[in-house]
């Protein structure tokens, strides 16, 4: 710690409270502590904007929801390693760390010996700590690598469909890549379209620590005089932020492809599409055009056709086409629209629309899929970048099998079954042990009741956690882990910019019996053999690893004429280091090289071009992902809704990161009647006798939840929005209703398609009524009674 001292009567004494620099996904934070407790916290950068998440450090460290000591489910001690169907309902018994680790080691070795490494699922997926050392899932997989291999995961819940389709279309995943720089957007773009994106919420966070520059760029856009269009069934915080400076269009949920096709058809019919660009830079437009005009299937995808599906008037669709074609247009797309059935089609069609406009590779034109995430477009700095811990030990085993992360329930339900994925026929492993570290699958996986049933099948479930999440409550063995403020680490800010290097200094001692993941897996590695600990740690302590990562950064910095002090000096300084600006980064245009010379800078697609028609995908023969972007009507949407059914969207919340911080006092800013808020239009509220603040029940065949009604005109009639990430709180005494409002109790657990197998949460229908049943108190954040 960096302690402040003052001279009193000739003696230097520590001054309390003192300020320590650390970081989280929501940026660098300055934490005030007296050495025992966290007193307050806030942003450590002068960003000009308040990020509510930065105030929650005290709640993270001192929450009543903390796991205090190792716990073992009672049934595990009596069932002799056989599933007993009691996960989530059983009592927990306190044990010592040695007892817990010995039990894990014995069961792990038994299962591995009987069923092989593929039976061990260690593909635990979550947002982790933003530090370069204490990354829970990385450390888990490092240990499993040493043990002989494991089953890992493919893709993620955020962008499963998009990151599968984009390599076929443009040769890279696009969703996690740097965007055309903001200075060029502000200089050259005339039209900026935010399509299914809400950056005012999502730019509060980053995979690493946020560099906190994104909202400032959108602030400049707001006052730039440019035309801004927000396309979203919800008038999001971003649309409200832009106010009269933005136009809000609200299509039916799941109909974005139809709307884009109507725009594309209008471009083509009026000769506004860039035929020369399509001929030189794309592959297969002619095949797509036959579909667009109806030549191939008898249905012309014109503006009138599109209007009948998406609910946007045909005259507005034609106007969008005209405006896009006559101006430099940047299409900034979010990820929510691809978290749907046939989600692959959304981003593929948006790239096709941008190609028809012919502005890809021009300053301020084309498309971008990361302006709303991790501050894409904030120019990349000339940076000394930290190294980080790797998941595979020297000489260790890699993952012996991988499954699409959003198909974990299917894998548990159908061990050994074949399934199609991305052009392959794969087979689900027979998973007998699950270790989930640093993630909350019970909040990010769809159809919670189906998940709970499948979760009973493995022989052992271990959860490493800070808090009593629903996943922890459904575990056999629960290990209490430190928060990032109870250990030391390092991070960079900005997933794309690398704008700052930040010391993540320990603020307070670990609470109760919490331990670092690094130490836990080092102890378990020691049980694997006499050299296990040495192979896992490589003989280095926490601080020695951090110095190693820092020294790599110093070497990288020296190559770019960036001088960093020695590690000891840097660590004592308790200061953030800002990296120098880069002229190259400020002038970056995505696809500029490809546009300048498509042969020399060919894309990593089969043709080297943007593939509007993919021969490879067409060859897979997937009915749910044809060879070119197409409108495919979802199973659950406006067009199939029965009277009284509403379309459900699960948007990102404003005051947490998915499920992180749901337990914090920030809840007071958004809960209604102590529950997750559900947005509904006044027309839908009126027909159901609901007023703002009422407790309501939402249900479908998958489950039911209680929520607090927020009646607002900022949502399309026929649509309700219940933010994702709310902790489930199922009441066995009331028919399994979720007392808290966890949206995934209601959402569909189906694949986006057989290509990507991403999640399809936003393709769900529900019913809604005023709740008149018995009062049910929210217990989502209470530890189990036996804990």
Q: What angle do CA 12, 18, 19 make, to 5 degrees?
A: 135
The DSSP line for 606-664 is TTSSEESS-HHHHHHT-TTS-SS------SSSGGGPPTT-EEEE-PPPSSSBTTBTTTS
In the predicted structure, residue 1 carries a pLDDT above the cut 80: no
Residue 468 known to bind ligand: no
pLDDT greater at residue 481 or residue 9: 481
Q: Kind and range of the H or E element at 268? A: helix 256-269
**Confidence class for position 83, pLDDT limits 50, 70, 90:** confident
- Res 473: pLDDT: 97
Residue 742 lies in a domain: yes
- Of 321, 346, 378, the last residue of a domain is 378
Contact 680, 768 (CB under 8 A): yes
CA atoms within 13 A on the CB side of 286: 3
Residue 21 lies in a domain: yes
Average pLDDT score over the chain: 96
Tell me which of 18, 26, 127, 468 is the catalytic residue: 127
In the predicted structure, residue 6 carries a pLDDT above the cut 70: no
Residue 444 known to bind ligand: yes
Residue 688 known to bind ligand: no
Residue 245 known to bind ligand: no
- Of 356, 378, 400, the last residue of a domain is 378
pLDDT in tens, 742-782: 999 999 999 999 999 999 999 999 999 999 999 999 999 99
Residue 757 lies in a domain: yes
Q: How far apart are CA 586 and CA 621, in angstroms?
A: 43
Question: What percent of the chain clears pLDDT 90, i.e. is strictly above it?
Answer: 93
Torsion of CA 769, 772, 777, 781, to 10 degrees: 0
Tell me which of 18, 125, 285, 638 is the catalytic residue: 125
- Res 9: pLDDT: 53
- Res 15: pLDDT: 52
pLDDT in tens, 148-163: 999 999 999 999 999 9
| Count of C-beta atoms within a 10 Å radius of residue 367 | 28
Contact 431, 415 (CB under 8 A): yes
**Confidence class for position 123, pLDDT limits 50, 70, 90:** confident
Q: Kind and range of the H or E element at 489? A: strand 489-493
Poorest-pLDDT segment among 116-130, 158-172, 404-418: 116-130
| Pairing relationship of beta strands 227-231 and 246-249 according to DSSP bridges | parallel
- Tell me whether residue 125 is one of the annotated catalytic residues: yes
Q: Region 319-345: what's the mean pLDDT?
A: 98
Q: CATH number of the domain that 703 lies in?
A: 2.40.40.20
- Res 79: pLDDT: 79
- Res 14: pLDDT: 45
* Helical H segments across 358-447, by residue range: 408-413, 441-444
Q: Tell me: do 52 and 187 sit in the same domain.
A: no
pLDDT in tens, 616-658: 999 999 999 999 999 999 999 999 999 999 999 999 999 999 9
In the predicted structure, residue 10 carries a pLDDT above the cut 80: no
Number of domains in the chain: 3
Q: CATH number of the domain that 212 lies in?
A: 3.40.228.10
In the predicted structure, residue 5 carries a pLDDT above the cut 60: no
- Of 20, 41, 62, the last residue of a domain is 62
pLDDT in tens, 283-306: 999 999 999 999 999 999 999 999
Range of the domain at 684: 638-770
SS (H, E, C) 375-400: CCCCCCCCCCCCCCCCCCCCCCCCEE
Contact 491, 208 (CB under 8 A): yes
Q: Region 499-514: what's the mean pLDDT?
A: 97
Residue 39 lies in a domain: yes
Q: Cis peptide before 496, with omega less than 30 degrees from 0?
A: no
pLDDT in tens, 691-708: 999 999 999 999 999 999
**Confidence class for position 4, pLDDT limits 50, 70, 90:** low
| Pairing relationship of beta strands 329-333 and 282-283 according to DSSP bridges | unpaired
pLDDT in tens, 161-208: 999 999 999 999 999 999 999 999 999 999 999 999 999 999 999 999
Q: Region 370-385: what's the mean pLDDT?
A: 97
pLDDT in tens, 458-499: 999 999 999 999 999 999 999 999 999 999 999 999 999 999
**Confidence class for position 16, pLDDT limits 50, 70, 90:** low
Residue 425 lies in a domain: no
- Res 12: pLDDT: 45
Residue 81 lies in a domain: no
Poorest-pLDDT segment among 11-15, 666-670, 690-694: 11-15
Q: Tell me: do 245 and 374 sit in the same domain.
A: yes
Residue 754 lies in a domain: yes
Residue 652 lies in a domain: yes
Q: How far apart are CA 107 and CA 466, in angstroms?
A: 23
Q: How far apart are CA 103 and CA 99, in angstroms?
A: 6
pLDDT in tens, 512-556: 999 999 999 999 999 999 999 999 999 999 999 999 999 999 999
Contact 610, 351 (CB under 8 A): yes
């Amino acid at each position: 710690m960096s302690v402040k001292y003052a001279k009193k009567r000739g003696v230097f004494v520590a001054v309390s409270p003192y300020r320590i620099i650390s970081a989280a996904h929501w940026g660098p934070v300055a934490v005030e502590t007296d050495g025992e407790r966290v007193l307050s916290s806030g942003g450590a950068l002068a960003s000009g904007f308040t990020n509510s998440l930065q105030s929650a450090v005290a709640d993270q460290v001192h929450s009543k929801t903390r796991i205090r000591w190792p716990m073992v489910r009672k049934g595990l001690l009596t069932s002799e390693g056989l599933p007993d169907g009691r996960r989530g309902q059983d009592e927990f018994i306190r044990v010592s760390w040695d007892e817990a680790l010995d039990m894990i080691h014995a069961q792990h070795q038994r299962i591995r010996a009987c069923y092989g490494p593929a039976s061990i699922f260690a593909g635990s997926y979550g947002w982790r700590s933003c530090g370069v050392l204490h990354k829970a899932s990385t450390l888990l997989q490092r240990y499993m690598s040493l043990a002989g291999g494991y089953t890992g995961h493919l893709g993620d819940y955020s962008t499963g469909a998009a990151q599968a389709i984009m390599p076929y279309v443009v040769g890279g995943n696009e969703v996690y890549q740097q965007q055309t720089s903001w200075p060029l957007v502000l200089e050259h773009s005339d039209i900026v379209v935010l399509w299914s994106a809400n950056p005012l919420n999502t730019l509060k966070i980053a995979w690493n620590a946020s560099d906190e520059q994104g909202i400032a760029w959108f602030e400049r856009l707001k006052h730039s005089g440019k035309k801004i269009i927000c396309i979203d069934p919800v008038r999001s915080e971003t649309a409200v932020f832009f106010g009269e400076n933005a136009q809000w269009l609200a299509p039916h949920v799941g109909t974005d492809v139809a709307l884009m096709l109507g725009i594309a058809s209008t471009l083509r019919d009026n000769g506004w599409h860039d035929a020369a660009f399509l001929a030189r830079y794309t592959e297969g437009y002619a095949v797509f055009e036959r579909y667009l005009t109806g030549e191939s299937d008898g249905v012309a995808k014109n503006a009138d056709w599109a209007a009948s599906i998406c609910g946007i008037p045909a005259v507005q669709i034609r106007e969008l086409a005209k405006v896009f074609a006559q101006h430099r247009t940047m299409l900034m797309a979010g990820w929510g629209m691809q978290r749907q059935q046939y989600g692959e089609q959304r981003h593929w069609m948006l790239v096709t629309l941008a190609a028809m406009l012919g502005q890809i590779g021009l300053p301020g034109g084309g498309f971008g899929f990361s302006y709303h995430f991790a501050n894409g477009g904030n120019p990349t700095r000339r940076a000394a970048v930290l190294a980080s811990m790797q998941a595979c030990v020297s000489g260790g085993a890699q993952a012996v099998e991988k499954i699409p992360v959003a198909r974990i329930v299917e894998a548990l339900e159908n061990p050994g079954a074949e399934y199609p994925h991305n052009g392959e026929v794969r087979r689900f492993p027979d998973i007998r042990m699950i270790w989930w570290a640093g993630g909350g699958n019970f909040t990010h996986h769809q159809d919670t009741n189906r998940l709970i049933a499948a979760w009973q099948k493995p022989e052992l479930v271990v959860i490493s956690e800070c808090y009593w999440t629903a996943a922890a409550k459904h575990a056999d063995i629960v290990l209490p882990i430190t928060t990032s403020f109870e250990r030391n680490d390092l991070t960079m800010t900005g997933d794309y910019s690398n704008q700052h290097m930040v010391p993540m200094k320990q603020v307070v001692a670990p609470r109760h019996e919490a331990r670092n993941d690094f130490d836990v897996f080092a102890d378990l590695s020691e049980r694997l053999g006499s050299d296990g600990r040495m192979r896992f740690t490589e003989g280095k302590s926490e601080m020695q690893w951090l110095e190693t990562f820092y020294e790599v950064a110093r070497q990288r910095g020296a190559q770019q004429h960036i001088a960093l002090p020695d590690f000891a000096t840097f660590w004592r300084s308790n200061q953030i280091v800002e990296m120098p600006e880069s002229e190259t980064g400020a002038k970056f245009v995505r696809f500029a090289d490809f546009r300048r010379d498509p042969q020399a800078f060919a894309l990593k697609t089969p043709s080297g071009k943007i593939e509007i028609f993919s021969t490879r995908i067409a060859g897979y023969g997937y009915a749910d992902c044809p060879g070119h972007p197409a409108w495919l009507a979802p199973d659950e949407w406006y067009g199939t809704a029965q009277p009284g059914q509403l379309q459900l969207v699960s948007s990102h919340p404003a005051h947490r990161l998915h499920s992180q911080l749901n337990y914090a006092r920030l809840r007071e800013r958004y809960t209604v009647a102590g529950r997750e808020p559900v947005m509904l239009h006044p027309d839908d509220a009126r027909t159901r006798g609901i007023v703002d603040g009422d407790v309501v029940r939402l249900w479908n065949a998958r489950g039911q939840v209680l929520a607090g009604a927020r009646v607002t005109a900022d949502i399309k009639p026929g649509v309700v929005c219940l933010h994702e990430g709310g902790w489930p709180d199922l009441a066995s005494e009331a028919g399994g209703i979720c007392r808290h409002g966890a949206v995934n109790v209601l959402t569909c657990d189906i694949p986006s398609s057989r290509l990507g197998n991403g999640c399809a949460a936003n393709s769900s229908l529900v019913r809604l009524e005023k709740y008149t049943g018995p009062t049910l108190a929210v217990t989502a954040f209470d530890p189990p009674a036996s804990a």
